[in-house]
A and B are shown apart, each in its own frame.
Chain A
Amino acid sequence: MTPKRKKRLYIILALVFGTGIAVGLTMYALNQNINLFYSTSQVADGEAPVGTRIRVGGMVVKNSIKRSKDSLQVSFGITDYGKPITVSFTGILPDLFREEQGIIAQGKMDNQGIFQADEVLAKHDENYMPPEIAESMKKKAGTE
């Protein structure tokens, strides 16, 4: 490489690494803001801001879904397998909503420590399987 090209190479490397470091530090500083949601333990421990709209994510606790008889109101527990919290929501839940499904709820904590959600999203994971395999896995889990 000629000295001129070498110089240009170094300038470009410096440019890429410089922006990389700048962006990296910015994101490190904004770390908590980039997270889409708080975990239920963070909310229960008071790490999440109170009285403002936040998102909480966790798995729907088994046998915790209680539906109101005369309205669309539904309440359920969600947990990150640490500390669970109770969520109350009025509206139509996404198709994937079920027990032990990961969900993200947006809303506010009320005075009784119940999370009043105005939006519930289902979180899907990267595991896909055909229905037959899911069925046989369920059976296996039941017999063991």
Chain B
Amino acid sequence: MKIKFPKWFYQLASPRWFYDITSKLLPWFAIAALLLMVIGSVWGLAFAPADYQQGNSFRIIYIHVPTAILAQSCYMLMAIAGGIGLIWKIKVAHVIAKSCAPIGASMAVLALVTGAIWGKPTWGAWWVWDARLTSMLVLFFLYIGVIALTSAFEHIASGDKAAAVLALVGIVNIPIIKYSVEWWNTLHQGATFKVTEKPAMPSEMWIPLLIMIIGFYCFFAVLLMSRARTEVLRRESKTDWVKLLVERY
């Protein structure tokens, strides 16, 4: 078996190249994130119609769904980056995995908190130990575990390896979160967006939601690149190119 990867894949392995390319990409993602999130939140919070049963409390969906989706996507990225780092010994992959963890943990907290705030008036309870809510809480604990493991070792490489293994093991939780509402009886409702079907809400409700989701992805890219760039500089601080960079400022 011989796998040939495109050139950019190998270039990604170079911390310096990563630093250069992200400095070009970062402003574009920042602009996109700002625009989409402003449009999405104003549209969703002020102009989208209220729900016939829940009234205005349904509007928390415009924060809850994007953060919940992102918490899971971020975990996938973290685990895959960790795996690439383990197999190919690519430094940048470990930097990305490390930078993902705190962002994903914050997204998971946001999803859990907004869900609880919505759950109280709608369900009548802040928290219920159903499969969806519990697996989401497990996701948050996995993030905390990855963060703790990364910094638990004296050698950066050991911490990276341990965290990557935990992230890879924890990836089984992702399909559990996704399908928990279908496999078991849960209080949490089914997915709002499905790949195969039209969303079960009118377009004036789901278009702002879609804008918010894309906006959150751009925002995530901005956060991830900023964190990863700082981490690259920190880890490469003894190399000539970083010294040169520091001298210039």
Contact = CB atoms under 8 A, between A and B. Distances in A.
Given A15-B168, A34-B184, A124 B53 contact: yes
A130 B185 contact: no
A1 B89 CA distance: 12
B128 interface: yes
Interface residues of A, number: 43
Interface residues of B, number: 44
Contact of B190 (A95, A96, A125): A125
Contact of A1 (B1, B49, B169, B204): B1
B87 A132 contact: no
Interface stretch (B8-16, B66-74, B117-125, B140-148): B117-125
Interface string A1-31: 1000110110010011001100110010001
Main secondary structure of the interface of B (DSSP, over half): loop
Contacts of B169: 15-16, 19
A75 B176 CA distance: 36
Interface in B10-53: 49-53
A133 interface: yes
B123 A130 contact: no
B122 A122 contact: yes
A8 B49 contact: no
B128 A121 contact: yes
Nearest to A137: B52
Contacts of A23: 172, 176
Interface of B: 1-3, 49-54, 58, 61, 83, 86-88, 121-125, 128-131, 165, 168-169, 171-172, 176, 183-187, 189-192, 200-202, 204-205
